[in-house]
Structure 1
């Protein structure tokens, strides 16, 4: 892990904590496992002001390219749950993929349990766009 822990901007950290609290009643086991894992990672997360946040860290509205060791690759923008739109490559932060990558940086490799099993997910590209206010 590039920074030793996940890295989050202060306002987005608060938003993420609220979203996770609302998702506590989640019944789907794969997503519940992802939520629990992210909650554990938040305990040691590095929380920074926006001006201090490295540009290679994945946050809300970040364009990302990820890939796995079996050759799968995908690009999308990480968004809030209300903006989720798979057809336009907008993935919710509360999806298993979104929960897996928030706070990680370009070059990080994450072992994460997805519905199809555990995969090593590599963050290949990170591009910042507009941010949450």
Structure 2
């Protein structure tokens, strides 16, 4: 699979901090970062003074910090999101110049938007970019950001929640495979989201928003709908799972909650679909093998 893939991880380790220091020593990486020297000094002080394996709480002072990983779980950059009132500002860096030109920046922007709008509940996302930073300008513009203001040296782009949701529904990313949800499942899942903590299910909310909603009697028989059973390949392991609502979940019996990592991942995909999804602390290659039972295909519309 040649499509770019990026996931954002909120946990920052000492090894991550050392990687960040290496990136920030490269002038081509830092030349457009207004606070690069401050960031470098901060990271160096943290590494020298704090002998902890996990440094997340320190990096999240004044905002939220995420390491960006590719499909091989190799760090490729970072994202910082700072929320002020209803607005959120994104700072993004792809750290290794060898990764420039692989469209990892655009993929990272999409993941950052997902967090800003679905997890942090921002109403507007802002990116302030140096006027000469042509790669970042192109990446944000191609992601749908609109120019809001500019000076000779700085351009400010913005994405509103309303525009983001419209683009998500009307123009799904080229890198994303279409998924399908029935009208009944869509209504039930939205009711479920109303009672769940946003930080726990923001990935599920994102998938529901981008899904193509279809009539329950017209959904293809090879689509994983709610209460379906399917053979799913996780990397090199094939497992039989049922996709259920949280109250029916039983991991030992292979009944996966739609709010779980794998449960959210497989919702709406069809037989033969292959995609990457970060689950807990690593990225899994997931393939939908065979839908063994689908309520709609069996005429069990009450499920």
What is the 5 A alignment of 1:10-29?
A: 10-26=183-199
Tell me, yes or no, if the aligned pair for 2:258 and 2:267 is still in contact at 8 Å: yes
Aligned residues: 124
Query: Which of 98, 111, 117 is equivalent to 2:276?
Result: 111
Report the TM-score, using the length of structure 1 for normalisation. Answer: 0.80
Matched, 1:36 2:202: yes
1:99 matched to 2:264: yes
Deviation at 1:60, TM superposition (A): 1.4
CA distance in 2, matches of 1:19, 1:110: 25
- Which of these residues, 48, 62, 68, is aligned with residue 214 of structure 2? 48
1:67 and 1:73 in contact (8 A); partners too: yes
Change (3 A) 1:123 1:21: same
Give the CA deviation at 1:24. Answer: 2.4
Q: Which runs of 5+ in 2 are unaligned?
A: 1-173
What's the CA shift string for 1:95-123, capped at 9, x where partnerless?
11111111111111121110141111111
- Alpha-carbon distance change, 41 to 85 in structure 1, aligned in 2, over 3 angstroms: closer
For 2:227 and 2:293, locate their aligned partners in 1 and report how far apart those are by CA, in whole Å: 7
TM-score in terms of structure 2 length: 0.38
Structure 1: unaligned runs, 5 residues or longer: 27-31
CA distance in 2, matches of 1:5, 1:86: 27
* Compared CA separation, residues 109 and 14, structure 1 to 2 (3 A): same
SS of corresponding position for 1:43: helix
Could you list the per-position Cα deviations for residues 66-91 of structure 1 after superposition, in whole angstroms to 9, with x for gaps in the alignment?
1133x122111111111111222211
Higher relative contact order (CA 8 A, sep 6+): 1
Contact 1:68 1:122 (C-alpha < 8 Å) held by counterparts: yes
Q: CA RMSD in A?
A: 2.2
Structure 2 CA distance, aligned partners of 1:132 and 1:88? Answer: 23
Matching residue of 1:82: 247
Change (3 A) 1:60 1:96: same
